[in-house]
Structure 1
Amino acid sequence: MIVRFFSIVLLLYLIGFIVFSVTLGSSAGGNRTDGIVVITGGSGRIEHGVDMLAKGYAKRMLISGTDPSVTKADLVHRLGGRKRLVGCCVDLGSESVDTRSNAEEAKRWLDKHHYSSFRLVTSDWHMRRARYEFRRVMRDKYRLVPDAVHTEPRFVTLFGEYNKLLLRRIAVVFEL
């Protein structure tokens, strides 16, 4: 009986991992929002957010989780230009250290600017957990448009992210 129970649990875990792996986040396309929130930590995220901002899909952008030593000049150098766009419309947030605190930092930024919608930019493999954390922090106060940056994640990355998502959901259920 115990072996059957654990076999079913293992089977459900594996099916969940497969579904997670083949249904990664995708690009949001041309949906307009008030703001853009980019979570640091993966290649192409900031560049994608800046491209969306330059195309007029939002008024302003927050880069959440920025190292406190990073300046707008550093960002302009990294992007190979776009000084005017970065100077007027990009905010660097350095208060967050993980996905949950990214959501808290973004909520304060959205409140400050009186925005009602935002485009969330992160890697495709990270989007599901990021959306979960942002919705938990923000409830239904803001319209969230997920905009995942396409990557080619390795098995280890997917496996780790799937387990983080499961553990976070379990922690929320048990209020840990």
Structure 2
Amino acid sequence: MIAAGILDVQEGRVRVLSPNAEAVAARVADNRTGKAEYWAGAGGAEGTCSARRACCYRRPQRAAGRGRHLPFRFGRVHHTSGPVLELLSSLAEEGEVETFAKAYGLFTTLRPLNAHYVRESVPAKISSRYLASHRRLDASKILAWASVHPDWPDQLKATLSKPALFALTVNAMANAIAVA
């Protein structure tokens, strides 16, 4: 059974291998996406926590093609965007800026018609929840820096689709404000 690829024995552990590992991975990803879609509309503390877990496990290589396969149900923008806006606020306040960008990416897959509305809130969430609350930067320093760098909201939004770059951009802005 080991030679046939059905069992794997390593360090005294026996694992039963799937004949189609890609199918298993796809099913797990679909299950997590389905849960995230449900919790995106549920809101509250449980919805925020569940959406966060779904974002952490998201498989970026599969995300690009997911949108056309999901059953979308659209409501009014402020109703369907509320839970993700709460989640983004919470992530920014906790300093989880890379997960913030991943959560936005998952939301755009689930609710593409609301993506622009949520995207426009990103600079405010980063300035108030991350810079002021998490990093505890003085509001007058943030405003002074922002007046000298009027394109900072566009820079943030431009990097939002690349979580690692978004995190670097946010941290570079925070560090520049701190030394200003």
Normalising by structure 2, report the TM-score.
0.22
Please report the TM-score for the alignment, with normalisation by the length of structure 1.
Answer: 0.23
Task: Compare relative contact order (CA 8 Å, sep 6+) and give the higher one, 1 or 2.
Answer: 1
More helix by share: 2
Q: Which structure: larger Rg?
A: 2
- Structure with bigger strand share is 1
